[in-house]
């Protein structure tokens, strides 16, 4: 995950007719509804933990562990990724980051998750994709699709962004969406992208708020490459700065489902 350049807010856009999978013809090809028992880790057939605390390229402050204290199913149909203020392996916080790398990867389709984010200065929840070629070509040449990032100090606004060669970090390309009322902390929302050859469309609750194509970026690296999913809750970093005394810990990113659809008929 990388810090992003926020673009013009689209809060003034009212709701439109849904354009999600029920309306446009999709087949469900992957689903995780986190129905495990209380305290169970996420399904190891789907998810792997990224473990470490070296800043993750963004000067993040947390150590991401594989402990159930930080990532667990709650027995109520939700995955929780929990950031804790504690000294651990030289870091002041712990949290979790899980990925489907090498286990669940798709080149095209609709990637979506139902998520409720935490609020608070220094909290940085995200749902995103990386190209499966990352070990061969590195980042950002592999391509990155940030489906949802929220700054904890502005929980009514989320961002969707593309990173690639010539448009990464602060030079990334994307847009932000602000809820007409309320915040993303107050309830679950569905964050999704639809990736087809030659374009990527970004949605919040089936509202299409941006569509990007090859002409919008320096190099289109998003076709013909399998992509894996990542869920994480970062603490601090260059995107938003550190927590302060007002930030409440533990803080949890809650995920009710993750699904992938492919277009019916290919």
Q: How many CA atoms lie within 13 A of 103 on its CB side?
A: 15
What are the start-end ranges of the H helices in 89-226? 134-137
Give yes or no for a contact between 56 and 1, defined as CB atoms under 8 angstroms apart: yes
Catalytic residue among 105, 112, 149, 194: 149
| 144 counts as catalytic | yes
Residue with tokens 């999704």: 192
- The β-bridge partners of 115 are 189, 255
Buried b or exposed e, range 28-43, using 16+ CB within 10 angstroms: eebebebebeeeebbe
Token digits of residue 185: 């902390």
Given a contact cutoff of 8 angstroms between Cβ atoms, the answer to whether 159 and 176 are in contact is yes
d(CA 266, CA 264): 6
Contact criterion met (CB below 8 Å) for 134 and 144:
no
Structural element, H or E, at residue 135: helix 134-137
Task: Please pick, among 62, 105, 114, 144, the residue that the annotation labels catalytic.
Answer: 144
In contact, 209 and 202? CB cutoff 8 Å:
yes
Return the active site residues.
144, 149
């Amino acid at each position: 995950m990388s810090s992003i350049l926020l673009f013009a807010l689209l809060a003034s856009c009212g709701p439109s007719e849904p354009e999600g999978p029920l309306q446009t013809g999709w087949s469900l090809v992957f689903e995780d509804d986190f129905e495990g028992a209380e305290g169970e880790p996420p399904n190891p057939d789907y998810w792997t933990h990224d473990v470490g605390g070296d800043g993750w390229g963004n000067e993040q402050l947390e150590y991401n562990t594989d402990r159930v204290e930080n990532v667990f199913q709650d027995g109520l149909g939700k995955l929780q990724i929990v950031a804790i203020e504690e000294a651990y392996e030289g870091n002041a916080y712990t949290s979790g980051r899980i990925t489907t790398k090498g286990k669940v990867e798709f080149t095209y389709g609709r990637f979506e998750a139902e998520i409720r984010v935490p609020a608070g200065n220094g909290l940085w929840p995200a749902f995103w994709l990386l190209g499966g070629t990352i070990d061969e070509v590195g980042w950002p040449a592999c391509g990155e699709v940030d489906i949802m990032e929220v700054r904890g100090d502005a929980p009514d606004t989320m961002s969707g962004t593309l990173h690639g060669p010539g448009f990464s970090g602060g030079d990334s390309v994307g847009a932000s969406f602000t809820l007409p009322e309320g915040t993303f902390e107050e309830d679950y929302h569905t964050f999704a992208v639809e990736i087809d050859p030659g374009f990527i469309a970004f949605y919040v609750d089936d509202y299409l708020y941006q569509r990007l194509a090859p002409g919008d970026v320096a190099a289109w690296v998003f076709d013909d490459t399998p992509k894996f999913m990542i869920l994480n809750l970062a603490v601090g970093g260059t995107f938003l700065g550190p927590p302060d005394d007002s930030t409440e810990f533990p803080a949890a990113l809650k995920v009710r489902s993750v699904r992938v659809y492919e277009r019916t008929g290919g």
